[in-house]
Structures are given as C-alpha cells and as structure tokens.
Amino acid sequence: MNLARLVGAVALLALAGCSQGTPAAAPSAPSAPPSSSSPVAVPTGAVPAEFAAGNVRIALVRQLSSGDYFEQWLAGAQAEAEALNVKLEVSSGDGNNDKQALNLEQAVTAKADAIIVDHGFAQTVQPAIKKAVAAKVPLVAFDVDPGTPEAVALTQDDHQIAEQALGALKADTGGSGEVVYVYVAGFAPLDRRNETWEQFKRDNPGIKQVAQIGVVNSSTAAAVADQAKAALQAHPGVKAIFAPYDEFAKGAALAVKELGLAGQVKIYGADVSTADIGVMTEPNSPWVATSATDPANVGRIAVRAAALLVAGEQVDRALTVPPSLITQKGLRDAGITGVEQLTRAFPALTTPEVARVPWPAS
C-alpha cells in the first residue's frame, strides 16, 4: 500500500462515523491540530543549493482558472512555492485547450525546471508533455492523463468522491427514485466519477436517471442552473441531483431554490470552499452532502512533487489524495462556516505526508 493510499485508509477510519449518508455529523468540535492525527517526520535534510539561491522556476500550466476550486488550488500552490523559495510561473488556457497546449509548449521552450500541468484534455496536452519528457523537464500532471510513466500523475480519489456522495444519496432515497445527473465528458476527474455513477446505477436498479445535463465554461454554475431548472420542470418527480463538481452543485442548488423545490429535491455534490459551505448551510439549502479534498492542499502537493523532482528525489508516479464526506448536518452541528475551520475539524483533509519535502521550508 503506498503512502497516499494508507493516508486514505486512515482518513476513512477517522471519518467512519460520518461517511454513510446524510444523518452523520462531522466532529462536534475541532478536536486536535492536524499534526497530532498524522505524525510527520521532521525535515532534516539540507536545503538544495538551487532552492536556497531562489533559482528554481516551476511552470504551472492550467486549463481552467475560474471558480472556487481552481482559485483555492492556486492559492495553495502559490503558498507552497513561496515556502520552498520557488518561482511559480502561472498560465491559464481559460478553458481553451489550444491555448493551454501553446502555454505548455512555451514552458518547455523556456526551460522551466519543472512543469505542472493542471487539467486539460489528453489529446491536446500529451504531445507537448512528450516534448517536456524528451527535454528532460520533470513533469507533474494533475487531473489529466500525461500518457507517459515518466510523469507524476496526481489525482484526487475520484471514485471515492463519487462513492461517498452516492452513499449519502442512497441513504437518503432508500436506493430508489428519479435523479438528474450533471456531467461533462472529457475531464478526467469527471470521467472517473462517471464510472462510479454508471456502476451505482447498475447496482441500484431503483435509481432512474431521468436527465443528464452539464456545461463547463467561465460561468458554469449559472449555465447549470438554467439547465437544471428545465430538467426539473420536465421531470416533476425528481428526488435528487447528483452534481459531482461544486460549480455544478451550486447551479443545481440555485435551480431548486428558484423553483421552490427545496423540500423535495436534494443535491449530492463534490468539492468544498467557504462559499460552498455558505450555500450548504443556509436555511432550506437542498445541497446536503459533498465529498471533497482541500483544494489548497492538493495545489501544495503538486508544487512539492515538482520540487522533489527538481531536487532529484524519488516521487511515487501516482499520487492520490483521499476525500472526506462533508454533510450539511455535520457542518451545521459543528458550526463550521469556512474552509479553515473545516480543515481543523477534519484533519484528514491535510496530507503533509504526500510528496513530503525532506528539507525545511520557510
């Protein structure tokens, strides 16, 4: 079992009381600081000279940058880069795959010390990733298949994300009823969550998907709200919406509220942010459960993995970050209003062992 998997298993045990269905609650109060639940070796190695001198440049090449998830992820990556004295050179395709591929080519040409590719479609980023590998530029691919074993592939455990959210949906619906599903194909994390949804439907024949909606753009939540309204009006018997991306869930929540269906339709989502917590905990919110990692923590891991590769350290070729199930009831019971409070209450959301850097960071 690799370290990330082990962390996942420990996290699941720690959350066993709140990982099955809506009724479970988060810890009633923040119990202990994160470090006490996951002992981390004190870094003792010397800071590599290029890091001490501030000469390390890591290019972060993003497909998307708008939305809570991507903003928090970037904040974490920037904080880790600062702690490691690394220059993080950030570009975004703003949803345009060709622009992202061009940015990636430019990072290779500009001889970055390492590259992080954040999302993207395999067919548009893999040709430039090949060039990076040929040029011996170390590469970390987050949420996109790099198509080469030379790169480190970083993911959240997307199957578990879907399993946790769907476990809550099943507990609340008794495993039967009409469901609207929000999905866009081609995004690796959504495709993996979709595999779990397909299996879930096979295992639970009482669950009927009556509509599939979804769009990813710079105003995803608003677009999904319009689609969800139409789907709910066309299918008045819907009990649940499976919306495994927070922009999807926010859009679905807006639609349910605007149609006055909050007592009838519940939403099961993915991801978490302070704004999401606000939506989940407001009175009559239909968004009752979300399965999430801490996006800032994942951004930090990406930068640590890239820094380790620059320093010639060993890094597992597959790094997987485990999620936690967060319920509306748990958030309300614990009085959690923001992500900082959440990570104190759910220490499993912080995973300093994953891609640990063996030298002291500032």
User: What residues make contact with ligand SR1 under the rule CB under 6 A?
Assistant: 69, 143, 156, 187, 189-190, 216, 245, 270-271
Would you state the torsion angle of the CA atoms of residues 78, 80, 85, 86, taken in this order, to the nearest 10 degrees? -60
SS3 360: coil
- Closest CB to ligand SR1 among residues 90, 261: 90
Strand partners, 325: 291
Q: Are 334 and 28 spatial neighbours (Cβ–Cβ below 8 Å)?
A: yes
Q: How far is the CB of 114 from ligand SR1 (least distance, A)?
A: 21
- Closest CB to ligand SR1 among residues 27, 269: 269
Check residue 136 and give left, alpha or beta (phi > 0: left; psi -120 to 50: alpha): left
- Closest CB to ligand SR1 among residues 245, 268: 245
Q: Are 286 and 267 spatial neighbours (Cβ–Cβ below 8 Å)?
A: yes
Q: How far is the CB of 316 from ligand SR1 (least distance, A)?
A: 19
Q: Are 357 and 84 spatial neighbours (Cβ–Cβ below 8 Å)?
A: yes
Strand partners, 320: 155
| Burial grade of 89 (CB within 10 A; 0-12, 13-18, 19 or more) | middle
Q: Are 123 and 147 spatial neighbours (Cβ–Cβ below 8 Å)?
A: no
- Closest CB to ligand SR1 among residues 270, 306: 270
- Closest CB to ligand SR1 among residues 116, 190: 190
- Closest CB to ligand SR1 among residues 51, 343: 343
DSSP letter at 28? S
Distance between CA atoms of residues 19 and 280, nearest Å: 17
Distance between CA atoms of residues 93 and 146, nearest Å: 17
- Closest CB to ligand SR1 among residues 126, 311: 126
Q: How far is the CB of 73 from ligand SR1 (least distance, A)?
A: 8
| Burial grade of 235 (CB within 10 A; 0-12, 13-18, 19 or more) | middle
